[in-house]
Copies of this chain bind each other. A is one copy, B any other.
Amino acid sequence: MVTAREIAELCGVSVATVSRVFNQPASVSGPTRERVERVARELDFSPNESARALSRKQSAMIGLVWDTDHRRPGWRHPFLQDLLLGLKSALSSHGYHLLLLATSDDARSRTPGVSLADPVGYVSMTRRHHLAGLVLIDSGSDAEAFTAFARSGLPCVALDVAISGPKATYVTSDNVRGAADAVAHLAGLGHRRIATLTGPRDNTPAAERTRGYRDGLAAAGLEARDDYVVSGDFYRESGFVGMRRLLARKEPPTAVFAASDEMAVGALLAARATGLRVPDDLAVVGFDDIEVASLVDPALTTIAQDKPGFGTAAAEALLKMIETDAAPEPVLLPTRLVVRDSCGA
């Protein structure tokens, strides 16, 4: 490992100068800068990040808080991979890396110090590593913990959870509008008995989609019926069960808006199990546009979320908070209606 000191000696300058070449190049004279740069390149010098973080009191890492909710064992994020890709590429262009924080929740930790520090784990880890910021991924029930982070003053951006704080913001899809679009699409096809399968009650995007559903009904001049609202948990099974309940009503719906593609697939399965044909007997619209949506039969009409957009928007908000001192407004990503076969459009 070649160090700044070696470069300095070879160039006949001080380590301070070498450091400046990398951090405030403008403050170094042209010839000196070029000489240092050349030698550094030849020796393949790369500054030690630990030393740098130690003296700067700030690392070049962004923490990723991503916990699998223990209350929901089979939980999967609908598009984690796209999100990570977006995050990673947006952050890398500013020299930041992503630290996937592992906490004692993951397993009994034997890290020295962890057991001594706060039980939440993440807060402690965040301090230990002097992270530049945090990306918080909703896992279904971390709202309280997220609020604590938001208050801490550390730059934080949450995905799909509304947080606020001196340097906290969030990014989410325009769920209200997206859901309203779904209903408008169904109403436009002539449906008047439109039901919905909602997400979990304590989930904000779920609530927003339900609101958008009502907005959509109102915009189409349709009445909102309580018996057409069945709550689920975003999972396929709950879509299946919910759809069977809806189909058992005295006056069953002819169309359904599911707040997730997983539930929409469950609805498809329920229709099939009941002997109904989709889209002829029942029209279905989902939400997310996960890979599966285009593969089921019939292919699912759905409201697509801007998956990589989550990552890049999060990165941008974070960088803004790190570099300036403001907390940017929450980002509302536009959704897009993707028409396939499940509505017969």
Q: Which residues of A contact B (CB under 8 A)?
A: 1, 22-23, 37, 40-41, 44-51, 53-54, 59-61, 64, 68, 76-77, 80-81, 84-85, 88-104, 106-114, 116-118, 124-125, 127-130, 265, 291-292, 295-297
Contact = CB atoms under 8 A, between A and B. Distances in A.
Contacts of A95: 109-112, 114
A91 B91 CA distance: 24
28 contacts: A22-B113, A40-B113, A45-B113, A46-B127, A49-B128, A49-B130, A64-B100, A80-B81, A81-B81, A84-B100, A88-B102, A89-B102, A90-B107, A91-B102, A92-B106, A93-B108, A93-B109, A93-B110, A94-B111, A95-B111, A95-B114, A96-B102, A97-B99, A97-B101, A97-B125, A265-B295, A291-B292, A295-B295
Q: Please list the 6 inter-chain residue pairs (A to B) with the smallest Cβ-Cβ separation, ordered nearest first.
A: A92-B102, A95-B111, A93-B107, A92-B106, A98-B100, A50-B53
Given A95-B109, A106-B89, A117 B45 contact: yes
A20 to B, nearest CB: 10
Nearest to A25: B112
Number of copies: 2
A111 B59 CA distance: 13
A106 B127 contact: no
Contact of A54 (B40, B50, B90): B50
